[in-house]
Amino acid sequence: MTTSTTSQRRMGLLYMVGAAFFWSLMSVFVKVVGEHLPSQQIVLVRAVVTLAYSYLLVRWSGAARLWGSNRRLLWLRGLLGFTALSCFFFALTKLPLADATVIHYTNPVFTALIAAVVLKESIEPAEWVGALLSLTGVSFIAQPSFLFGTSSGSPNLLYVGVALLGALSAASAYVVVRKLRDTEHPLVIVFYFPLVATIGSIPTAGAADLQWPTAWEWLFLIAGVAGCAQVAQVFLTKGLHAMKAGRAMAVSYLQIVFATLWGILAFHEIPDLWSLLGAGLVIGGTVLVSRG
């Protein structure tokens, strides 16, 4: 291996670690402002800021038509992304930070299963095992009373269900992106996500008990939620350019580690043994699916 290749991989590793850190930091800001603001209001602010970034990137690229060609699928991708983001932000405000993050990370498993049905992609035996491990891990985190005998101290199953719906929606969005990659510019696909999220979050945020953010909350929303998400997206893109996708995915699981640490340090959320075991099963299962 040449020195330049080694250096490139090292930089890719640093970028992926940075992406995981900033994604986890974004989740912290969502949880903090979510103590006072409705989750859909947070979605709206992030969507508007990201829409501005995405619009400028499409215009500056000069290589993409803003509205694309397959608009039906582009709007569907945006709707699925908006649903996933809404569910994830809601789960972050209701569940322990690590639990919400781990459940969201089941989306690669759902992606493989949905792609098998919609895109006729084959599923290897290791991927079936990975799916079973991940879903078992989620049950350990949720600790439903019909399996564990008691609901004392276990998360609200409605909130867990919303988190799973977010993971399922994210997986469906990724499958649509795979379908669109042959006809649409990547920046156009990205643009439709905040576009639909902005349109969708205006009425849903309006239906909530809106609160005018304080100066600190505005800072957390714009610099914390939207800013950290944008930095993480840039680092993720650079990391994927420098590393193989499988290795990059493995490094991205540091987000779960960061989320656990943030939960302990910032919110005094001490995970129990079942949650830790469940997180391990989700990580192991998703790694199997990603490498299948």
Q: What's the confidence (pLDDT) of residue 165?
A: 96
pLDDT digits (tens, 9 = 90+) for 173-207: 988 888 887 788 888 888 899 999 999 999 988 77
Q: Are 189 and 64 in contact (CB under 8 A)?
A: no
Chain centroid to CA 113: 18
The encoded tokens of residue 99 equal: 């639990």
Q: What residue segments make up the domains of the chain, in order of their start?
A: 10-290
Q: Which residue has the tokens 């276990």?
A: 154
Q: Which residue has the tokens 């809404």?
A: 86
Rounded distance, CA 54 to CA 195, Å? 9
3-state SS of the chain: helix, strand, coil percent to 5? 80, 0, 20
Burial 256-268 (b: 16+ CB within 10 A, else e): bbbbbebbeeeee
**Helix, strand or coil, per DSSP, at residue 122:** coil
Q: What's the confidence (pLDDT) of residue 245?
A: 55
- What residue ranges of the chain have pLDDT lower than 50? none
Q: What's the confidence (pLDDT) of residue 144?
A: 67
Rounded distance, CA 182 to CA 157, Å? 39
Q: What's the confidence (pLDDT) of residue 42?
A: 94
Segments in 119-185 forming alpha helices (H): 125-142, 145-148, 157-180
Q: Is the pTM of this model over 0.75?
A: yes
The encoded tokens of residue 137 equal: 């891990």
Rounded distance, CA 19 to CA 249, Å? 11
- DSSP class of residue 35 equals T
Q: What's the confidence (pLDDT) of residue 29?
A: 96
Q: What's the confidence (pLDDT) of residue 3?
A: 61
Count of Cβ atoms closer than 10 Å to residue 189 Cβ: 24
Q: What single letter denotes the amino acid at residue 189?
A: I
Q: What's the confidence (pLDDT) of residue 130?
A: 79
Q: What single letter denotes the amino acid at residue 264?
A: I
Torsion angle defined by CA atoms of residues 30, 112, 51 and 239, in that order, rounded to the nearest 10 degrees: 80
